[in-house]
């Protein structure tokens, strides 16, 4: 039975509404879908997501099962391996031909909203024109990178950055003789 008397913003109670809402949206579920899966009412779930009501353990168990997560997803801290990324243990990602080197800098937790990568672009490599939802941020560490965002062209060198809406077409090219090393941060998360 739902417990609507305890508010989530009361001292000692964790605000779990955002975690429930984010997970539900990530699964592309409506409140009605979640209600159908959990056996709880839409008005109650709406209050929980807005931290206006705290579910009982029984209700939270039903919500967790409906969202395909463990209870610890709502009340526990993520394991250290999902928070801290050690330089001695890089996670190399492989896309396309493998000519570009990608190392994930962001954590591994499932609900992350952004991604951070260290990218190495070899000389002569050009990316195809791309666009996607969200924002992109590029920061050049070494080398020189030609960048086109929409119709605009920029040459980025060490210390230069570009922050843009990725819905606009963008591409890059390394015309130099050395690798370009850069940081890319973007939303939404890649994998």
Domains in the chain: ranges and CATH: 17-75 (1.10.260.40), 81-186 (2.60.120.10)
Give the residue, 11 or 189, on which the prediction is more confident: 189
Reported as a pLDDT band with limits 50, 70 and 90, residue 2 is: very low
Ramachandran sector of residue 51 (left: φ over 0; alpha: ψ -120 to 50; beta: rest): left
- Residue with token string 């964790």: 14
Mean pLDDT computed over 87-94: 86
Residues 6+ apart with CB under 8 A from 191: 93, 115
Question: pLDDT at position 98, please?
Answer: 72
Asked if pLDDT for residue 177 goes beyond 60, the answer is yes
- What is the chain's mean pLDDT, rounded? 86
- Identify the weakest region by mean pLDDT among 3-12, 148-157, 162-171: 3-12
What global pTM score does this model have?
Answer: 0.63
Beta strands 101-104 and 115-121, pairing class = antiparallel
Instruction: Provide, rounded to the nearest whole percent, the portion of the chain with pLDDT above 70.
Output: 87
Asked if pLDDT for residue 171 goes beyond 90, the answer is yes
- Identify the weakest region by mean pLDDT among 85-99, 115-129, 150-164, 175-189: 85-99
Reported as a pLDDT band with limits 50, 70 and 90, residue 157 is: very high
Asked if pLDDT for residue 122 goes beyond 90, the answer is yes
Question: pLDDT at position 81, please?
Answer: 60
Asked if pLDDT for residue 88 goes beyond 60, the answer is yes
Question: pLDDT at position 86, please?
Answer: 83
d(CA 82, CA 91): 12
């Amino acid at each position: 039975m739902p417990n609507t008397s305890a508010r989530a913003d009361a001292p000692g109670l964790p605000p779990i509404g955002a975690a429930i809402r984010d997970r539900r949206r990530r699964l592309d579920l409506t409140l009605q879908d979640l209600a159908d899966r959990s056996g709880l009412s839409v008005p109650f779930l709406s209050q929980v997501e807005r931290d206006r009501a705290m579910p009982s353990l029984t209700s939270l168990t039903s919500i967790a099962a409906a969202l395909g997560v463990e209870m610890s997803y709502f009340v526990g801290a993520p394991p250290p391996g999902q928070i801290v990324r050690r330089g001695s243990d890089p996670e190399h990602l492989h896309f396309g031909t493998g000519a570009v080197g990608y190392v994930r800098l962001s954590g591994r937790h499932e609900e992350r909203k952004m991604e951070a990568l260290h990218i190495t672009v070899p000389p002569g490599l050009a990316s195809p024109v791309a666009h996607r939802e969200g924002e992109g941020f590029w920061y050049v560490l070494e080398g020189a990178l030609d960048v086109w965002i929409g119709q605009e062209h920029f040459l980025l060198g060490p210390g230069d950055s570009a922050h843009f809406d990725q819905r606009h077409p963008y591409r890059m090219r390394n015309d130099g003789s050395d690798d370009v090393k850069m940081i890319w941060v973007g939303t939404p998360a890649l994998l």
